[in-house]
Amino acid sequence: MGMKILTGNSNPELAEAIAAYLNMPLAKAAVKRFSDQEVFVEIHENVRGEDVFLVQPTNFPANDHMMELLVCIDALKRASARRITAVIPYFGYARQDRKPGPRTPISAKLVANLITTAGADRVLTMDLHAGQIQGFFDIPTDNLYAMPVLVRDLKEKYAGKKTMIVSPDVGGVVRARAYAKRLDAPIAIIDKRRERAGVSEVMHIVGDVKDCHCVLVDDIVDSAGTLCNAAKALHEAGASSVSAYVAHGVLSGPAYERIENSVMDELVITDSIRPTEACNANPKIRVVTVAPLLAEAMNRIAHETSVSSLFE
């Protein structure tokens, strides 16, 4: 069984980097729009009996990229691909993983159903916002972590320095502990609470961050409000420097302006989401690639070897 890599329009640069790492070309295909913006897919080479990996993060515009993913899967299914793996480095709708109130959807489950019904045989994703989303799929689902890539970068930058890993909220403590363990560093926690409606959040820091190089770690940075407020609180508490390492740079709304005007020295994100021009132009944002990590996982899936050993 041969292996082929296909990409939609969400992050073709990442797909190209993965293909280059594996020393193979991207499969020839056209993912286009009709004049009314309907998605049209045409695969320009034979995929019958092939093991096909479709690389398509579902970031903004999430609905367009999601529809591209589904139509590509259907095209591959009808072209008799032997196995279709949806490689979704950033899984859109992951924050809607439960009912936050009455009469609300669990959209992450709906999306999992759509991908399965379209014909995907397995899913490869990275840093799911909630680990239980793996259970929403009735097909094999591998959830990779950007942590090995980000920890490598952290070790190079903060070697020999007094480093403190910081969780920007109580919910991220497990992630912070995992980073701290690999870096042999202590952790601190930002306890964020809103006293009453209309009053700004009060930040309480659990841990002594004075004279430490503080590193905030999270899975998603969206509007960057929480991250920038946390950085300000750490700075006021006497931190020597504050930076942030985040797996997915969603970066919507006022995020770029907030980051540039914040006390953060640097925000490090991965290319799970295609960096925009504004992202590349922002002096405080640096992008590290997860292409080798994804490529290695894809290669192991294709050769039926262990993916979990990537983290051992």
Q: Domains of the chain: which residue ranges? A: 3-144+292-311, 147-289
C-beta atoms surrounding 35 within 10 Å: 5
- Residue 299 vs residues 15, 237, 294: alpha-carbon distances, Å: 14, 46, 9
Give the pLDDT score at 310: 77
pTM exceeds 0.85, yes or no: yes
pLDDT for res 69: 98
> How many CB atoms are located within 10 Å of the residue 135 CB?
11
d(CA 36, CA 50): 32
How high is the pLDDT of residue 203? 74
Instruction: State how far the Cα of 113 lies from the Cα of 118, in Å rounded to an integer.
Output: 8
DSSP, collapsed to helix, strand or coil, labels residue 236 as helix
103 annotated binding-site participant:
no
- Is 192 an active-site residue? yes
What CATH number does the domain located at 147-289 have? 3.40.50.2020
Q: Is 36 annotated as a binding residue?
A: yes
Residues 192, 210, 232, 284: which is the catalytic one?
192
| 19 marked among binding-site residues | no
Q: Are residues 183 and 213 in contact, defined by beta-carbon separation less than 8 angstroms? A: no
132 labeled binding residue: no
Angle, helices 107-118/62-78, rounded to nearest 10 degrees: 20
Has 237 been labeled as part of a binding site?
Answer: no
Is residue 38 annotated as involved in ligand binding? yes
Closest Cα partner for 268 from 253, 279, 257, 252?
Answer: 279
Residues 6 or more apart whose CB falls under 8 angstroms from that of 225 comprise: 258
Q: Is 222 annotated as a binding residue?
A: yes
pLDDT at 1: 61
Are the folds of 3-144+292-311 and 147-289 the same?
Answer: yes
What phi, psi does 288 have (nearest 5°)?
A: -110, 150
CATH class assigned to 3-144+292-311: alpha beta
Does 306 count as an annotated binding residue? no
CA-nearest of 116, 114, 97, 115 to 105 is: 97
Question: Binding residue per annotation — 169?
Answer: yes
The tens place of each residue's pLDDT in the chain, 312 residues long, gives: 689 999 999 999 999 999 999 999 999 999 999 999 999 999 999 999 999 999 999 999 999 999 999 999 999 999 999 999 999 999 999 999 999 899 999 999 999 999 999 999 999 999 999 889 999 999 999 999 999 999 999 999 998 899 999 999 888 999 999 999 999 999 999 987 766 555 547 678 999 999 999 999 999 999 998 899 999 999 999 999 999 999 999 999 999 999 999 999 999 999 999 999 999 999 999 999 999 999 999 999 999 999 987 765
